[in-house]
């Protein structure tokens, strides 16, 4: 509207000059009008740019127009045509009713003032009436031009409720997007919502693609008049790259020559295109790309709606991704806990359960032996006592590994030293721990628990399967503010690839468990081994970050 107002002000001055009505007073009025237009419309203000108020803006325009007419003869002024600015701007801002009302209001005020001031004579009335009727007859034309400019070059909503209606529309849109997010075909519904506000002729010709990040590129999740879904755009460039780099809605008027749009099937027959980046907290969640054959299709109001959809879509996709990640992590935790229960059941079955069953049978044998050979019976009872003590140590060791209280009370390093002591006490296994007592300071307790679990699993595997005489455990701090756990042994070693491929082997399950646990704390696990050369397991865990 700024350009229209400036052209109108210039036309008023030129018309007055051509008819000999240009005066100092008129020049001052037009100058103030232009200055006010520029200040309100384009001057940068703190935090935001002041927008020209639609209702008061047109009222101000009419006031200056009426002032110009008053200085040049009122109802007989050669500037009566300038009342048409009310029809033009009213049509752009509010539609047909306003286009007809504003010039009529201006003409009524002008006639009333002319009669009251006595500035119009009876003999001039017919000529003034014809001039005003001509202006009013041209008002629908000005209104039609205003409505057309709104539809094809953007403008505010055509209703009197102004921002309230737009706010309500955005609120309804946000609700619709959130409801659609819960459905399985969200991507298709999101496109439907994006196209829902583009009500215009040939709207069905819009080409649209919803892109979601995958690997180093983007996959086409849903589209209309585009390449089939599932297509992967490995190197986005042109319009899409520009929009993603800027983080803002980007418009291009050479869509048919954009290579990325060509690969997406959006360039054929298209003259203009728009890319709306879907971003939340600096994270690219996707991009919505639209193209059309009509250069005037993407009006300002439609671009504003698409921009709002982009903001809402970025938030929704971000939340959906977080929910998916949480669900995956939840399932992983549940599987890890289930494997821990299975491991406990196996250990109880292979260890204490078998031992207690054997003790029961040997007690029965010792009872019968007492009657025949008391010395042999005493030796058997002594053996049973040692078996019972060993079983007690094994059960205590299991309880310790399930919930090492020392880990909660004294920290990771003390827990590792106690684990080494219990391995030697229970199984006679030599475990050598090298760590400074404060090495785990600042490490979250949940991360300490994961590090302890992986150390216990690695030590247990080395004892059971590697036939290792010695196991070394080292814990140290890295320069990058992380913790590194290293567990190595001098056992028989194994083929890492072969064991990884056989998930039924208990050793393989143990490695899977260690990897899954390390991922829970954003850690990295390395396993190095070769047959006859021992095994080396390294875990790197950041002190800060995901838990």
- Residues 25, 20: Cα–Cα separation, whole Å: 14
User: What are the Cα distances from residue 269, in Å, to 64, 204, 469, 511?
Assistant: 47, 14, 75, 56
User: What are the Cα distances from residue 243, in Å, to 247, 287, 289, 315, 488?
Assistant: 6, 9, 10, 17, 51
Q: Tell me the percentage of the chain whose pLDDT exceeds 70.
A: 74
Query: What angle do the packed helices 354-372 and 374-402 form, to 10 degrees?
Result: 170
Q: Which domains does the chain have, with CATH numbers?
A: 2-160 (no CATH), 165-327 (3.30.450.40), 411-547 (3.30.565.10)
Average pLDDT, the chain: 77
What's the confidence (pLDDT) of residue 446? 83
Highest mean pLDDT of the ranges 106-115, 366-375, 530-539: 530-539
Give which of 244, 226, 223 is closest to 235, Cα–Cα. Answer: 244
User: What are the Cα distances from residue 421, in Å, to 411, 430, 528?
Assistant: 16, 9, 26
Q: What is the dihedral of CA 359, 362, 368, 372, to 10 degrees?
A: -130
What's the confidence (pLDDT) of residue 180? 66
**pLDDT tens for residues 66-123?**
777 777 776 667 777 676 766 666 666 666 666 666 677 777 776 676 666 665 555 5
User: What are the Cα distances from residue 169, in Å, to 150, 162, 190, 305?
Assistant: 18, 11, 16, 9
Q: Which residues pair with 528 in a beta bridge?
A: 536
Q: Which residues contact 345 (CB under 8 A, 6 or more apart)?
A: none
**pLDDT tens for residues 478-521?**
877 789 999 999 999 988 877 666 644 444 567 777 888 888 88
What's the confidence (pLDDT) of residue 473? 96
């Amino acid at each position: 509207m700024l350009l229209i107002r400036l052209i109108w002000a210039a036309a008023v001055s030129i018309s007055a000059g051509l008819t000999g009505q240009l005066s100092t007073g008129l020049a001052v009025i037009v100058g103030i009008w232009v200055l006010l237009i520029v200040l309100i419309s384009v001057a940068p203000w703190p935090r935001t740019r002041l927008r020209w108020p639609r209702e008061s803006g047109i009222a101000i325009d009419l006031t200056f127009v009426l002032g110009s007419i008053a200085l040049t003869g009122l109802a007989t002024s050669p500037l009566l045509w300038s009342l048409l600015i009310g029809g033009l701007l009213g049509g752009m801002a509010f539609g047909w009713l306003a286009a007809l009302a504003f010039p009529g209001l201006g003409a009524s005020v002008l006639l009333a003032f002319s009669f009251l001031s006595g500035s119009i004579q009876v003999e001039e009335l017919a000529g003034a009436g014809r001039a005003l009727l001509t202006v009013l007859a041209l008002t629908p034309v000005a209104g039609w031009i205003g409505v057309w400019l709104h539809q094809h070059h953007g403008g505010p909503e055509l209703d009197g409720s102004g921002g309230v209606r737009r706010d309500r529309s955005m609120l309804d849109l946000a609700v619709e997007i959130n409801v659609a997010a819960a459905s399985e075909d969200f991507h298709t519904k999101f496109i439907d919502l994006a196209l829902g506000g583009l009500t215009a002729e040939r709207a069905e010709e819009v080409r649209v693609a919803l892109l979601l990040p995958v690997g180093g590129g983007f996959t086409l999740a849903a589209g209309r008049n585009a390449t089939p879904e599932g297509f992967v755009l490995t190197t986005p460039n042109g319009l899409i790259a520009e929009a993603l780099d800027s983080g803002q809605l980007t418009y291009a008027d050479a869509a048919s020559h954009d290579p990325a749009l060509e690969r997406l099937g959006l360039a054929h027959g298209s003259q203009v295109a728009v890319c709306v980046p879907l971003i939340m907290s600096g994270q690219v969640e996707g991009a919505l790309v639209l193209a059309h054959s009509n250069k005037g299709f993407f009006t300002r109001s439609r671009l504003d709606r698409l921009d709002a959809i982009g903001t809402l879509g970025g938030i929704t996709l971000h939340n959906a991704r977080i929910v998916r990640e949480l669900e995956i992590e939840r399932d992983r935790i549940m599987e890890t806990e289930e494997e821990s229960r299975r491991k406990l059941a196996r250990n109880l079955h292979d260890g204490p359960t078998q031992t207690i069953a054997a003790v029961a049978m040997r007690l029965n044998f010792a009872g019968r032996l007492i009657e025949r050979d008391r010395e042999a019976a005493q030796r058997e009872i002594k053996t049973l006592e040692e078996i019972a003590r060993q079983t007690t140590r094994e059960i205590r060791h299991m309880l310790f590994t399930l919930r090492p209280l020392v880990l909660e009370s004294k920290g990771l390093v003390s827990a590792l030293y106690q684990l080494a002591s219990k391995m030697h006490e229970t199984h006679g296994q030599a475990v050598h721990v090298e760590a400074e007592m404060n090495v785990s300071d600042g490490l979250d307790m949940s991360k300490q628990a994961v590090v302890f679990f992986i150390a216990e699993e690695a030590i247990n595997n080395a004892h059971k399967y590697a036939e290792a005489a010695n196991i070394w455990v080292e814990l140290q701090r890295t320069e990058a503010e992380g913790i590194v756990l290293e567990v190595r042994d001098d056992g028989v070693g194994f083929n890492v690839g072969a064991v990884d491929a056989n998930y039924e082997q208990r050793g393989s399950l143990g490695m899977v468990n260690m990897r899954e646990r390390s991922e829970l704390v954003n850690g990295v696990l390395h396993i190095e081994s070769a047959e006859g050369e021992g095994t080396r397991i390294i875990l790197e865990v950041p002190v800060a970050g995901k838990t």
